[in-house]
């Protein structure tokens, strides 16, 4: 894998944390997320694609990163979000496309209209 966005970010973040705390060595972080150090090293270098959702969530926890943000860097969408969308795919597809270009503050204020019916 040549595009090293995910791996590069993980490596940079882990190295930053390691300068202050040796618990963030490659070996210790790999142990914390239950993978081999060589596997994590290859991911960080971009030799391997990003790991499973489970491992990414564990990494987010270990490195104190936002899990949705790390999943997005890895080109993934969390299973719970997928389930939410699958329940009402048309509605959420429309909503997400509608919100695409809105500034964050507008997106965060979800508006619910009082529905009018037939009287």
Partner 1 sequence: MIELRRDSLVFTFPEVHPQAQLSVNFQRTLRIPDDGKEYPLPPGLGAFPLRHVDDFPKTVSPDWLEHGGVLLPMYQSEALWIMFQAKYIDEHGTYPFAVQVAAGKINAVTGDTWKEGLERRPQNYLVAPTQPWLDGFSVKKGLIRQFVAMPLGAGYSAEEQITGKGEYGGLQISVFPMKAVAFERHFPRRPAGLFSKFVKGCRGFVESDMGLAPGGLMKQEIYEDRFAFDDWDTTHSRCFVHIANSLVWRSITGVNPPTPPPTSKEYTKHGLPWFDYYDDGSVPLPGADVLAQLQSVAELGKKKGDVPLPENESVSPSNVKVIRPRKSKEQVREGVF
Q: Are 77 and 67 in contact (CB under 8 A)?
A: no
Q: Is 103 in the site for partner 1 (CB under 8 A)?
A: no
Smaller CB separation from partner 1, 90 or 115: 115
Select from 19, 21, 87, 119 the one that contacts partner 1 (CB under 8 A).
119
Round to whole Å and give the CA distance between 82 and 67.
Answer: 15
Round to whole Å and give the CA distance between 76 and 72.
Answer: 5
Name the one range near partner 1 by CB under 8 A: 11-19, 39-47, 57-65, 105-113: 105-113
Q: Is 111 in the site for partner 1 (CB under 8 A)?
A: yes
Radius of gyration from C-alpha coordinates of the chain: 19
Summarize as ranges the residues that interact with partner 1 (CB under 8 A).
Answer: 111-119
């Amino acid at each position: 894998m040549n595009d090293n966005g995910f791996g590069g970010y993980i490596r940079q973040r882990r190295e930053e944390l390691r300068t202050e705390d040796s618990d963030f060595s490659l070996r210790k972080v790999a142990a914390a997320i239950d993978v081999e150090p060589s596997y994590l090293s290859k991911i960080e270098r971009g030799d391997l694609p990003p790991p499973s959702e489970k491992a990414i969530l564990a990494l987010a926890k270990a490195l104190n990163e936002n899990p949705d943000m790390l999943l997005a860097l890895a080109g993934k969408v969390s299973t719970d979000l997928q389930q939410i969308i699958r329940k009402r795919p048309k509605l959420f597809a429309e909503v997400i496309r509608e919100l695409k270009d809105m500034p964050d503050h507008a997106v965060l204020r979800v508006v619910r209209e009082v529905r009018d019916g037939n009287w």
